[in-house]
């Protein structure tokens, strides 16, 4: 048996939806279910191609985070792609469990929206999970909540394995009427090919953006001395404002997107090592721009402040992330 998980959140460390997905995955893998997760924020330029992956699955989990209102743009794009490009015969056999976790109002509405959308697509939705989470740490450490999530994973497995039937709904009738009014009828193969073309258009646009970035990068490389000075500028500020903590050992890898470079910071008590390179096993892996990095080392914004505002994204140890502003105390200039 194979289950695909499509995650429509932003991938932030404190997103409780990631915890729910992790618990579901652990239970399903224990009972020998192959689980594949697709992070839609990583697949922005290929969402039109994702309906092809449904052919490999016996069940689907649609997991979204309600940060403001509704299911979010990425999950909506995926559902749109399923409507236009998915094999409807294959969809009619697919069980789907919705997951909606909110830090604001609307988790039940989001779960219902996913359920209705899947019914209109022709799939088989089952009862899912929805929750309001005010404090993600308390939520993730609550054993009663963990048992509920684990039980839901077991129920999802039984539903797929036993091919449990569900009662008909009016959404199925709506689907028939809407589909009947379509002027262009495409075979699954034609829909799949069309999704490739759509994805290619997005890919070409992305390539143009990459070419512009490369042009800027090569322009900067012509002045190697200036580049070297800029590289050392961040490192010098980090060293000058280093305030070691007792028994604190941590590593950070900050990906500076517009220069395509990784600034690695390793702290071992009173020892500090800074360099440009690679460190895939860093405790915290962050991503930002050189503009935000300049503000950070000049004391105009804190590391956690940039993270909370969305100017910097990060994954890894959240406690270590918060400690950055204690280890490096920049003076405002």
Q: In angstroms, rounded to a whole number, what is the distance separating the alpha carbons of residues 325 and 330?
A: 8
Q: Note whether 171 and 45 are same-domain residues.
A: yes
For residue range 246-274, list pLDDT tens digits in order.
Answer: 899 999 999 999 888 999 999 999 999 99
Q: Classify residue 218: in a domain, yes or no.
A: no
The CATH number of residue 29's host domain is 3.40.50.360
- Residue environment code for 230-259, b if the CB has 16+ CB neighbours within 10 A, otherwise e: eeeebbebbeeebeeeeeeebbbbbbbeeb
Here the CATH number for the domain that contains residue 244 is 3.30.1050.10
For the stretch 301-330, pLDDT in tens is 999 999 989 999 999 988 899 999 999 998
* pLDDT for res 183: 43
Task: Give me the pLDDT at residue 152, please.
Answer: 96
* pTM, two decimal places: 0.58
CA gap 89, 155 in Å, rounded: 24
Percentage of the residues of the chain whose pLDDT score is greater than 90: 66
Instruction: Provide the domain count of the chain.
Output: 2
pLDDT (tens digit per residue) in 174-195: 666 655 444 455 666 666 666 6
Band the pLDDT of 331: cuts 50, 70, 90. confident
Q: How many CB atoms lie within 10 A of CB 105?
A: 11
Domain co-membership, 180 together with 75:
yes
End-to-end CA separation in angstroms for the chain: 59
* 44 in any annotated domain: yes
Question: CA-CA distance, 318 to 284, in Å (whole number)?
Answer: 8
Give the domain extent around 309: 227-327
Same-domain pairing of 239 and 152: no
Q: Is the pLDDT of residue 166 over 60?
A: yes
């Amino acid at each position: 048996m194979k289950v695909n998980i499509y995650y429509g959140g932003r991938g932030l460390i404190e997103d409780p939806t990631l915890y729910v997905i992790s618990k579901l995955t652990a239970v399903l893998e224990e009972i020998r279910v192959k689980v594949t997760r697709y992070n839609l924020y990583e697949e922005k330029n290929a969402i039109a191609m994702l309906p092809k992956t449904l052919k490999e699955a016996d069940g689907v989990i649609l997991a979204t985070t309600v940060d403001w209102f509704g299911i979010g743009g990425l999950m909506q794009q995926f559902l749109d792609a399923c409507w236009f490009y998915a094999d409807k015969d294959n969809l009619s056999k697919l069980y789907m469990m919705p997951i909606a976790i909110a830090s604001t109002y609307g988790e039940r509405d989001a779960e219902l929206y996913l359920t209705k959308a899947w019914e209109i697509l022709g799939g088989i939705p089952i009862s899912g999970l929805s929750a309001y989470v005010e404090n993600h740490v308390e939520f993730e450490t609550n054993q009663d909540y963990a048992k509920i999530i684990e039980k839901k994973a077991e129920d999802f497995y039984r539903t797929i394995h036993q091919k449990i039937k569900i009662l008909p709904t009016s959404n199925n009738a709506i689907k028939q009427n809407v589909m009947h009014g379509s002027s262009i009828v495409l075979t699954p193969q034609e829909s799949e090919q069309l999704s490739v073309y759509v994805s290619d258009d997005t890919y070409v646009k992305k390539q143009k953006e990459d070419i512009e970035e490369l042009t800027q990068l090569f322009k900067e490389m012509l002045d190697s001395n200036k580049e070297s000075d800029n590289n050392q500028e961040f490192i010098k500020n980090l060293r000058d404002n280093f305030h070691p903590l007792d028994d604190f050992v941590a590593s950070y890898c900050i990906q500076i997107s517009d220069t395509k470079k990784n600034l690695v910071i390793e702290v071992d008590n009173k020892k500090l090592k800074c360099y440009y390179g690679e460190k895939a096993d860093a405790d915290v892996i962050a991503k930002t721009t050189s503009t935000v990095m300049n503000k950070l080392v000049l004391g105009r914004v804190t590391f956690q402040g940039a993270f909370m505002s969305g100017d910097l994204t990060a994954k890894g140890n959240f406690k270590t992330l918060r400690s950055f502003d204690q280890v490096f105390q920049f003076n405002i200039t």
